[in-house]
Structure 1
């Protein structure tokens, strides 16, 4: 694998983590979204799964987003009999989004993104130094 391929692999990682960050942002933005009709379901948290995909031209595994699934964990119940989506007992189903988990996932995605970005910067520096050495000859 040459230096250009290294940059391509890191770029694929950045794209995958960027998509993950978009899904996390959507989850956080909808953490208070409830149904407006009785018995209706609120927003359901989404989760990104990754897969390795062989790039035959480079001969390297590239990370890709496999699927964006919904989290099938239980909804939270909140007592609010005045809410339009309240059931007969006065409970409203709330999204299954936990802000603490979303922030932890966001930090993990951010660190992975930064690691890939650092790899690109190191590779770019190595290319620049190699060109500098070739010019001196």
Structure 2
């Protein structure tokens, strides 16, 4: 495979994982964001889905972000009778964000990003050595 194609594939992977890291960071930052009123909703976790995209110009398959969509799972509940968002029974809805899961996903995305970066660095090194040999 042409090394320039490898660079494009890895760059697309880094871009996708960068977006994923941003969304995961947003989820972690809002893990405690509850509604302000009893009929409001707290922060809803976001999920990133990937898709395969064919780059017809280069003739390669590369990853792209397909969607960033809200997680349909149920909100949690916590008993806080004095809170402005509490219902008649004293419960508030809490975000459907589990910080442990978000941090695990973040570590996975970071490792994928770093792997793509390593591929780019290795490809650049091979290109430089090839140019040196041709001199």
CA distance in 1, matches of 2:80, 2:127: 62
CA distance in 2, matches of 1:68, 1:24: 11
CA distance in 2, matches of 1:34, 1:65: 28
Aligned to 1:11: 11
Question: Per the alignment, in what secondary structure is the counterpart of residue 68 of structure 1?
Answer: strand
Unmatched 5+ stretches in structure 1 = none
Q: Deviations over 1:52-74 (max 9, x none)?
A: 00000111111000000110111
Dislocated runs of 4+, deviation >6 Å:
none
Aligned to 1:116: 116
Unmatched 5+ stretches in structure 2 = none
Aligned to 1:2: 2
Aligned to 1:60: 60
- Paired positions, count: 135
Q: Deviations over 1:36-55 (max 9, x none)?
A: 00121100000000000000
Alignment of 1:3-82 (within 5 A): 3-82=3-82
Task: Give me the TM-score of the superposition, normalised by structure 1.
Answer: 0.97
CA distance in 2, matches of 1:32, 1:64: 30
CA distance in 1, matches of 2:61, 2:51: 9
Aligned to 2:125: 125
CA distance in 1, matches of 2:24, 2:41: 20
